[in-house]
Homo-oligomer: A and B are copies of this chain.
Amino acid sequence: MSSQPSHPALLIPGPIEFDDAVLQSMSHYSESHVGAPFVNTFGETLSMLRKLFQSTDPAAQPLVISGSGTLGWDLVAANLAEPGDEVLVLHTGYFADSFADCFETYGVKATQLKAPIGSRPQLPEIEAALKEKKYKLLTVTHVDTSTGVLSELKALSELVHKVSPETLVIVDGVCSVGCEEIEFDKWNLDGVITASQKAIGCPAGLSISMYSGRAIETFKNRKSPPGSYFASFKNWLPIMQNYEAKKPSYFATPSPQLIHALHTSLTQILSKPLSERFAAHRATSQKVKKAVAALGLKQLASDPADQANGMTAIYLPENVKVPELMPAMMKKGVIFAGGLHKEIATKYFRFGHMGVSVTDPNRDDIDRALEALESSLSDLGYQKA
């Protein structure tokens, strides 16, 4: 039994439902940000993040900063690229547009390689683009929260290292870290940015990211100073290294309560093999996608190889509208998200299936959501063709 008050199941692609123990960690009594107990908790949290990224390379560095997933874009754009640099942004939806905007803010020239809605740029196109121009870095949205499209990282990274070995491989993993397989070292990734409130299962308020030794060398070899103060590696790298070495250190006050919650969620995640966690998300995703197909509904991501495992983006049936479906679902105790991709926002909805809603056997969130979806559509007059 959950100790949380009764509330609708939040099944959007983040924030997700949180475990009781994680939420209780948010209420931790006040601690000094430079006192031994908290420094120890923060240090352990960083060490656990290395495990979540399946990384053992001591040259790599995780960062946890008060902020949101969006702050990760500034971390990349202000530290790993310099004004005038060219970067290649693989576009699968809303978030590539914003990442490109962020690069432009810091004087970095972003070229977008776009795919049709529900698809992703293919390796041959990417290869051609990399051969055309020298890019300082390439970004890929691992799971595009606006479309539910999953990108393939391993083959992509291999391609970049083969065709343009100096180009850094940067992953927007906001909607993938914790529910999709990521082998940071083995796949030769240079940066993965994410946030706390999705598959990591900790309330929002933290920007979480991981950088390779190569990315950090790129930063150290900059000709110009970093373009941001709050997001500067110069200010944060020594702090993170100190926390991990259990030494007090100060640049900006972290949030002890959020770090405690992250410590709790990472402890829970790492208490079982990660492979089991990813398999559970794949299995639930398959169940959702089969149920959606059985209802006669189509996903934005039409190719099964492009379908994310932590969320599903689903076209509405003709004649059913988002402002009708959402309140109908809410009455049955389930919250879904509307569309986010600018061009088709009103034509689809999103179902998030990450974290405890997937892994906790005491929860029936997913089954309830599928039942609520079927009966709500029926209530709204939809019948499978």
Known: A105-B226, A229-B77. A70 touches B252 (CB 8 A): yes
Cα A232 to Cα B230 with chains together (Å): 12
Smallest CB-CB separation from A225: which chain B residue?
B105
The 6 closest A-B pairs by CB, nearest first: A205-B255, A70-B252, A26-B26, A102-B229, A68-B252, A204-B255
Cβ distance A184 to chain B, nearest Cβ, rounded Å? 23
Cα A205 to Cα B14 with chains together (Å): 19
Interface residues of A in 208-228 (CB under 8 A from B): 225-228
Provide the residues of chain B in CB contact with A232, threshold 8 Å: 105
Provide the residues of chain B in CB contact with A231, threshold 8 Å: 228, 230
Provide the residues of chain B in CB contact with A135, threshold 8 Å: none
One digit per residue, 1 when the CB lies within 8 angstroms of any chain B CB and 0 when it does not, for chain A 20-51 equals: 00011011111111110000000000000000
Cα A10 to Cα B16 with chains together (Å): 32
A29 touches B23 (CB 8 A): yes
Known: A105-B226, A230-B74, A253-B197. A16 touches B29 (CB 8 A): no
A67 within 8 A of B: yes
B15 touches A32 (CB 8 A): yes
Cα A210 to Cα B17 with chains together (Å): 32
Across the interface, A229 reaches (CB within 8 A) one of B105, B250, B337, namely B105
Across the interface, A257 reaches (CB within 8 A) one of B67, B101, B205, namely B205
Provide the residues of chain B in CB contact with A105, threshold 8 Å: 225-229, 232
A58 within 8 A of B: no
Smallest CB-CB separation from A326: which chain B residue?
B35
A335 within 8 A of B: yes
Interface residues of A in 242-297 (CB under 8 A from B): 250-258
Known: A105-B232, A204-B256, A230-B230. A10 touches B30 (CB 8 A): yes
A71 within 8 A of B: yes
Across the interface, A252 reaches (CB within 8 A) one of B69, B229, B230, B255, namely B69
A230 touches B70 (CB 8 A): yes
A15 touches B229 (CB 8 A): no
Beyond the given A17-B30, A66-B66, please list 17 additional residue pairs across the A-B interface where CB-CB is below 8 A: A5-B29, A10-B32, A15-B30, A15-B32, A15-B33, A23-B28, A26-B26, A26-B27, A32-B335, A33-B204, A67-B230, A67-B252, A68-B253, A70-B253, A197-B255, A205-B257, A205-B258
B69 touches A67 (CB 8 A): no
Provide the residues of chain B in CB contact with A30, threshold 8 Å: 7, 10, 15-18, 203
Provide the residues of chain B in CB contact with A254, threshold 8 Å: 68, 204
Interface residues of A in 42-83 (CB under 8 A from B): 66-71, 73-74, 77
A74 touches B253 (CB 8 A): no
Provide the residues of chain B in CB contact with A335, threshold 8 Å: 32, 35
Cα A18 to Cα B203 with chains together (Å): 19
Cβ distance A293 to chain B, nearest Cβ, rounded Å? 26
Provide the residues of chain B in CB contact with A14, threshold 8 Å: 253
A319 within 8 A of B: no
Smallest CB-CB separation from A248: which chain B residue?
B338
Q: Which of A66, A71, A206 has the most CB of B within 10 A?
A: A66
Known: A71-B252, A204-B253, A256-B204. A27 touches B32 (CB 8 A): no
One digit per residue, 1 when the CB lies within 8 angstroms of any chain B CB and 0 when it does not, for chain A 343-372 equals: 000000000000000000000000000000
